[in-house]
Amino acid sequence: MLDTSRGDPPVPTDEQRGCLFALSQPPLMIFLGVIGCLLLIAAMHDLYLL
């Protein structure tokens, strides 16, 4: 049977997961790196080849 009793509330941890936690994720950093490289390539193309 399911335990539906109200026990002690969970103790909050000291570790806060904010923006820096999100930026430490490898897939997000790879995505942002690719977007940054594409913007850099587009800017260099506009500055030097047009």
Which pTM does this prediction carry?
0.56
Asked whether the beta carbons of 40 and 34 are under 8 A apart, the reply is: no
Of 47 and 22, the one with more pLDDT: 47
pLDDT the model gives residue 23:
72
Q: What is the pLDDT of residues 17-45, one digit of tens each?
A: 667 777 778 888 999 999 999 999 999 99
| DSSP state string for 1-50 | -------PPPPPPS---SHHHHHT-HHHHHHHHHHHHHHHHHHHHHHHT-
Q: What is the pLDDT of residue 9?
A: 63
Contact call for residues 23 and 29 (beta carbons, < 8 A): yes
